[in-house]
Structure 1
């Protein structure tokens, strides 16, 4: 990181003061600040101004945040002005933040990268601050979730309308059995699903996702950084994509599981049709088991659907 005096962001800091300086920044407020996920130029002017003027900055890693601030030409001393608040101490450290807010201080919170509270610390802090009666003011910015969604090119829904709905699942369980169960549930999800994964677990996740066959998966590796890669492959080909180049298993990953392609009588409609026929003759569990064997649909999803059908029939 460059020294503060030699920061290439000096002009940006001046622009931040000009653009955001006249806005209102209430005291006794927690400012939740998004920071870049890779490219330092993705910081917002309002974030720069707030990080420069708040009384203290609570952060996931004080050393990382100190280096980030210096890159922007913001020189803050560690200790009283940088407060450690991470996943291991968030509940306790939140009380210290609340005490400072009660004195009328302005406190910012940043995670190591991206938007706090999205698979990063910050959610417990925000909840505790709001419960204590203080204001939480978000400063939006970079997020790997929306960054990849914007480039994934999700398939158009029937009729040509854009398929914009998605579910954020984040990190799946690390244990194989729990991860496989989670993927079985995601297989029945009609919307796009956003996943995050660390480099040391990406190959295991790729092997587990192979059960989804031809369902498209968009991969975002090292988003916004120098060696960024964005590609879309069938789920069953993800492990092969990773194996093509040695460096592809390095870096941070975001993935988008595209909506499952369905025709007019697609898997969901076929599953319901089969379930209705079987439920008219068999107990619920037997009907679900046979429907799963006939259609190939996940048993958990069929069981939930069977319960809904039974409930609807009982209410009719």
Structure 2
């Protein structure tokens, strides 16, 4: 489905808002239906008519959510262009991160709070900037990364006054940016590790990757994982939105089918591997509470 473009003037913008309003109204209607039907299912009161109705409502809910995602994907592209450099080789991952933010905005949106585009701005921005930091500035902590634009602007202002060849006065830059001198040093002189295959310091020439501890789970961890997955399938999935349920079901084979890789799931959903991983992370975080009680 094509995304409605917002640069065609007032008629296009009005059409966009009208379509969004209709889709969100339909989504809310289906959400209410699902709440009633799932309450019946939890109470063991589903009859031969209610069970197919539940499955049908779930499919329709997934379809309308996907349609809202497609209609509003232009917001993700616009915000990615605002927050990142077009020359970055990670644009696809940034857009996938933006989709995660867009899905969060869809699930939490209340039309009484104003136009959806304004509501979606913050969650999309949050996920995109997190992806930018992870991809291009992995050695900066979130607080320093948030201050990075102000620090770079203060550095430019300082050099315009002192001259391009002048040594940077970190204290002056900190004062201009309203941050600490330590933050300025961490941002302007951030260390870079370009590859895990880079030789680590020492007499031998082993790489950083070879020095990292193995992350493969042991037997006890595998047993606990399988226990948690049974709890997820039995109790946790109804608390997730359709996209999260789909990812966990496919990823861990909760329906008895073979487990699928992040890449394969991403191809089905039109997301990058990183985008699927982020949805998986978000879904598992939601399930952390119910699993404790399982």
As a proportion of its length, which structure holds more strand?
A: 1
As a proportion of its length, which structure holds more helix?
A: 2
Higher RCO, Cα 8 Å, sep 6+: 1
